Amino acid sequence: MHKLRIIPKLVLIGAIASMTQVHAAGGGGPLEEADIDPGNIPSLQRGAANFMNYCAGCHSAQYVRYTTIGKHLGLSEEQLIDNLMFNANKTFETINTAMPPEDAERWFGSVPPDMSLIARAKGADYLYSFLKGYYVEPGSPTGVNNLYLPGTSMPHVLWELQGYQAANYSEHSENGIVTRQFEGFEPLTAGVLDAEAYDGFVRDTVNFLAYIAEPIRSDRRTVGVWVLIFLTIFLVLAYMLKKEIWKDVK
């Protein structure tokens, strides 16, 4: 009986381990560092606008309320309504997508995942690399492929901003086995943004995704400080009490 109880735990550990493996293996190139700054409020505000303009048409963030974003990012109700709320009527609503899941399935072959926790699941560096990882591949249904999620059904939605790029590979042959190694991207057409501005756009967007994956992080830090102060005072009191109680016993 006792031994049996450990099995679900082992299964869980196995599942987590295999998830991390997929995560680490995901893709065909080295990850670029996102270098995001969760304390940079203007960056988070820009990222929120980017997300609502370029991602929320397909992706929801169903655990995130507009009111919470407004509170943390210092936006008034009018600013929220004017700049971010395209799919909602009330500020306490969560970020829903206008696209019905059945249509998404029909159009893309897979439902665009909810973005609430994606940064925790995949990591900021992955998201940053993924959004910079689209390259032209003429035979594919979307005309592009992604270095980090090969064969993805998500189109290159930021093509107007980034332009199109090609992926260069070198081929190595050893004992008759030919392997391809990714060497780098090469711009083909110019986008509205230059390379540096596009990096900034993606960084802000990923910063926002990292923030919504853990919106209470800022609150938690302040709570943590108070808990430590409380524990210190309590320790002193407990020590004094102990001395008082044991004083006569000795």
Interface with ligand HEC (CB under 6 A): 54-55, 57-59, 108, 110, 112-113, 118, 122, 127, 130-131, 149, 152-155, 157-158, 205
Q: From the CB of 176, what's the least distance to ligand HEC, in Å?
A: 33
Query: Would you say 66 or 128 has its CB closer to ligand HEC?
Result: 128
> Which C-beta is closer to ligand HEC: that of 19 or that of 233?
19
Smallest gap from Cβ 28 to ligand HEC, in A, equals: 13
Indicate the burial class of 136 (C-beta count within 10 angstroms; 0-12, 13-18, 19 or more): middle
CB of 152 to ligand HEC, least distance (A): 4
Least distance in Å: CB of 207 to ligand HEC? 11
Q: Which of 163, 182, 184, 180 is nearest to 171 (CA)?
A: 180
Report the distance separating Cα 113 and Cα 129, nearest Å: 18
Nearer to ligand HEC by C-beta: 88 or 144? 144
Is residue 79 a contact partner of residue 70, using CB atoms and an 8 Å limit? Answer: yes
State how far the Cα of 230 lies from the Cα of 14, in Å rounded to an integer.
39
d(CA 63, CA 221): 21
Residue with the closest Cβ to ligand HEC? 55
Rank residues 197 and 236 by Cβ distance to ligand HEC and give the closer one: 197
Residue 207 CA, distance from chain mean position: 8
Q: State the nearest-atom distance from the C-beta of 133 to ligand HEC, in Å.
A: 10
Exposure string of 223-235, with b = 16+ CB inside 10 Å and e = fewer, is eeeeeeeeeeeee
Q: Are 30 and 133 in contact (CB under 8 A)?
A: no
CA dihedral over 143, 148, 153, 158, signed as positive or negative: negative
Q: Which is nearer to ligand HEC, 214 or 219 (CB)?
A: 214
Cβ distance to ligand HEC smaller for residue 57 or 94: 57
Tell me the closest approach of the beta carbon of residue 130 to ligand HEC, in angstroms. 6
